[in-house]
Amino acid sequence: MDTRLPPPERAQLYALIREKLELSGAELDDTTAVRELPGVDSVKLLSLVGAVELGFQVNLGFEAIPLVRTVHDIEQLVCDSREQYATRAS
């Protein structure tokens, strides 16, 4: 199972995180604790998950919210959703 997005999609994910969490110039990496970023609350986290679903055309659902701890967790959720879709489609 591939748990990494290609570099252009990873850049898109990081830009989306910065936009939805209002972190204009924040440095992000795989280990960044999303919930500990300045100003992050449950509404922003919900908005982020929704934006990730739309931006990456995946279905994460509300159950994804408690799974989001780090930036890598979000990337992992996208990859897992794509793999589940590919498995069902084949």
Which domains are assigned to the chain?
A: 7-89 (1.10.1200.10)
Q: With contact defined as beta carbons under 8 Å apart, do 7 and 82 qualify?
A: no
Taking all residues of the chain, what is their mean pLDDT, rounded to a whole number? 93
Write down the pLDDT at residue 2.
Answer: 63
Q: Which amino acid is at 43?
A: V
For the chain, give the percent of residues with pLDDT over 90. Answer: 81
**Tokens 């990859």 belong to residue:** 79
More confident residue, 88 or 76: 76
Q: Residue 57: in which H helix or E strand, if any?
A: none
Q: Is pLDDT of 76 > 90?
A: yes
Write down the pLDDT at residue 42.
Answer: 92
For 6-38, the pLDDT digits (tens) are 999 999 999 999 999 999 888 999 999 999 999
Distance between CA atoms of residues 89 and 71, nearest Å: 28
